[in-house]
Structure 1
Amino acid sequence: MNDETDGAGYSAANTGLLLVDPYNDFLSEGGKLWPRTAPVAEQVGLLGHMREVLAATRACGIRTLFVPHRRTAPGDYADWRHLSSSQQATARAQLFAVGSWGGEFHPDFRPVEGETVVHEHWSASGFANTDLDLLLKQCGISRIVLIGMRVNTCIDTTARFGQELGYHVTLVKGAIGGFGPEELEATFEVNAPTYAHAIVTVDEFVAALPGKPA
């Protein structure tokens, strides 16, 4: 981290943690996508690192905003003209289905009192067609820190969109998962250096946070 992007700028007043798509289908054994998530999750210690970041930001008063994908319902996308391949797969498998266990947040990543669940996004951006930008601006947040799933889709796209809207963007390696090491490499080594203001490890990020509020 350089002087421009170091943790001196992270504070409860201006920073929001975006916890993206912490669904059981992604993060829990028995989830529909867990077999694809598990190898990378176990390699990087994903769940433990996500817990560590969330606990640290909560302890110092940084606001958490949950950024969930659309929970799929029967008939979704039925009349759409231009489905992406991801949307086609989501519809077929009924990922994150409304009313299902897989469509609930992992038990370790659920909102507590005062935390916000953003409107669900239909594709990969947590900003497009949601209230995320409005909520961040109304709360005075200018820095966003992203953790969760999936690195080269919703994380990458939400972070890019955030930078386009003028936010300072931080990605926390180890607390972001995907379906293979090549996806992590594509984001962290190729894409994110062109838009992110900081790409840090969990240890670096936690060490950069301010002290706990009195």
Structure 2
Amino acid sequence: MDLSKTALLLIGFQNDYFSTDGVLHAVIEESSRVSGVLENTLRLLENAGSRFGCVISTPIHFTESYEELENPVGILKTVKEAGAFRAGTPGAKTIAELSPYAGLITEVAGKRGLDAFSNTELEVLLRKNGIEHIVLAGTVTSICIDSTGRHAAELGFNVSVLSDCTSSRTVFEQEFYCEQVFPLYGQVVDIQQLLAA
């Protein structure tokens, strides 16, 4: 894998998920602890962040009234009911742990749902930078990571999901997606395998 033609895509690294007082922290807490998603992602950024063609964050933000969500169901209904990811609130902000890498990370705004390509300029940025391979890190594995990975594969990008830099709602769900779902359209690797490749 040529890291200069690879984008590290960071999904969901926001306070409402990763801060202990985040309104959706409990949803991913156990899986995040087991996979070590935050610690491992920070280690990857520290050791290899500058070697990627680009590092991109795609935070999700909603207006105060959640007017973007008409008749939401599933996780988006939960997001609205919990009052998560409202633009301008502490919970919607990128976690402080990523601050040391702010100069390395390009933020792509506009994400309003599960897929980081929907309603954003993500594909344009990737094409502009000559990216051929997408590496996914963040949360939630079964929702935003999977939706974005599938879309990337449909667009012709090679897709890798970092098993130790992602987390889901449960440990079982994380393992199931890494073992049974992601290999259907991409590859699953950990940090050590990524750097070795």
Q: With structure 2 as the length reference, what TM-score do the two structures score?
A: 0.91
In the alignment, which of 89, 94, 100 is matched to residue 78 of structure 2? 89
Counterpart check, 1:34 vs 2:6: no
Runs of 4+ in 1 over 6 A off after TM superposition: none
CA distance in 1, matches of 2:50, 2:123: 24
Unmatched tracts of structure 1, length 5 or more: 1-8, 209-214
Any stretches of 5+ residues in structure 2 without a counterpart? none
Q: Work out the CA distance in 2 between the residues paired with 1:79 and 1:96.
A: 13
In the alignment, structure 1 residue 167 sits paired with structure 2 residue 196: no
Query: What corresponds to 1:4 in structure 2?
Result: none
Q: Which residue number in structure 1 is paired with residue 170 of structure 2?
A: 180
Distance 2:97 2:52 in 1: 18
Which stretch of the first structure deviates more once superposed, 133-142 or 184-193? 184-193
CA deviation string 1:6-32 (max 9, x = no partner): xxx2222x1110001100111121111
Among candidates 59, 63, 66, match of residue 76 of structure 1: 66
**What secondary structure sits across from 2:97 in the alignment?**
coil
**2:49·2:104 contact (CA, 8 Å) conserved in 1?**
no
1:101 maps to 2:71: no
SS of 2:144's equivalent in the other structure is helix
Residue in structure 2 matching 1:11, options 3, 10, 23: 3
- Which structure: larger Rg? 1
Displacement of 1:183 in angstroms is 1.8
Inter-CA distance 119–78: structure 2 relative to 1 (3 Å threshold): closer
What SS class does the counterpart of residue 43 from structure 2 fall into? helix
Residues 9-58 of structure 1 show CA distances to partners (whole Å, capped at 9, x for unaligned) of: 2222x111000110011112111111222211111222111111222332
**Structure 1 residue aligned with 2:126:** 136
In 2, Cα distance between the equivalents of 1:177 and 1:67? 16
Aligned to 2:49: 58
Preserved CA contact (<8 Å) 1:72 1:94: no
Q: Which has the higher helix share?
A: 2
Q: CA offsets, 1:102-160, max 9 Å, x none?
A: 11111112452253111232211111221100110011111110000110000000000
The change in CA–CA distance for 1:94 and 1:62 in structure 2 (over 3 A counts) is same
Aligned residue number for residue 105 of structure 2: 115
What amino acid is aligned across from residue 112 of structure 2 in structure 1?
Answer: W
Task: Classify the secondary structure of the residue corresponding to 1:75.
Answer: coil
Task: Decide which of 160, 181, 192 is 1:203's aligned counterpart.
Answer: 192
Q: Give, in whole Å, the separation in 2 of the partners of 1:56 and 1:170.
A: 18
Contact 1:77-1:83 at 8 Å conserved across structures: no
Query: How many residues get paired?
Result: 196
1:191 maps to amino acid: V
Q: Under a length normalisation based on structure 1, what TM-score does the superposition of the two structures give? A: 0.85
Q: Secondary structure of the residue that 2:91 maps to in structure 1?
A: coil
Match of 1:22 in 2: 13
